[in-house]
Amino acid sequence: MLFWKNKRNHTNRAAIHVTLEDVRRAVLKYEDEMPAPINRMSLLQSDGTIDLSRLSRYLGGVPEQKFYLSRETYEIFPEEERHIPYFLDLVQNAVDDYVNETGKMPVIQGSPEFEVDFKVLMNEHFLNELPTIPLYVTEQELMLTHRPERAGMNGMQQDSSVMILEL
């Protein structure tokens, strides 16, 4: 036997079941323990899933479920809602480009939740695929959400124009 060969005892651990809240807490702990430039985006795989094996020490094992991460909003979703981060990222980029080019917000006129007007984005060629869910603009740096209760611009006028300040 060669002394430099380290025989590891590879035990197949049983997959664990975790909740969305468990994954959110694990991601926050991961971010807290990593050096400054490393954040949750380092957990994102090419298919949009979170690399849960890197969170196993916080979760107590590798989960059997898949969870998805939005590149633009950093929000985490369970597998049954995997379509939401795709549309959030797609429309967030379109909204950002539209606002930068026109100085206006692409929201449905009179919408108290500031629902994004997909028709405007499609007509102006900022969006080439129609989302299957409504999305809303939030107060937080004009980020999008799929939850109408988190949307809206408290205290802002119901105007679709936005003042863009250049520094």
pLDDT per residue over 63-92, tens digit each? 999 999 999 999 999 999 999 999 999 999
Confidence label for 31 from pLDDT (cuts 50, 70 and 90): very high
Given a cut of 80, whether residue 159 has pLDDT beyond it is: no
Tell me: do 145 and 88 sit in the same domain: yes
Tell me: do 65 and 87 sit in the same domain: no
pTM for the model: 0.77
Residue 91 lies in a domain: yes
How far, in Å, CA of 96 to CA of 94, rounded?
6
Tell me: do 101 and 58 sit in the same domain: no
Nearest to 44 by CA among 17, 88, 74: 74
Residue 165 lies in a domain: no
How far, in Å, CA of 144 to CA of 88, rounded?
7
Tell me: do 37 and 65 sit in the same domain: yes
Alpha helix ranges (H) inside 40-137: 56-59, 83-102, 118-123
Number of structural domains (the chain) is 2
Range(s) of the domain holding residue 99: 83-150
The one-letter code for the residue type at 67 is F
Would you state the pLDDT for residue 139? Answer: 84
Nearest to 75 by CA among 89, 65, 62: 89
Given a cut of 70, whether residue 166 has pLDDT beyond it is: no
Tell me: do 119 and 60 sit in the same domain: no
Residue 108 lies in a domain: yes
How far, in Å, CA of 77 to CA of 57, rounded?
20
Tokens linked to 124: 């102006």
Residue 157 lies in a domain: no
Bridge partners of residue 16, in order along the sequence = 63
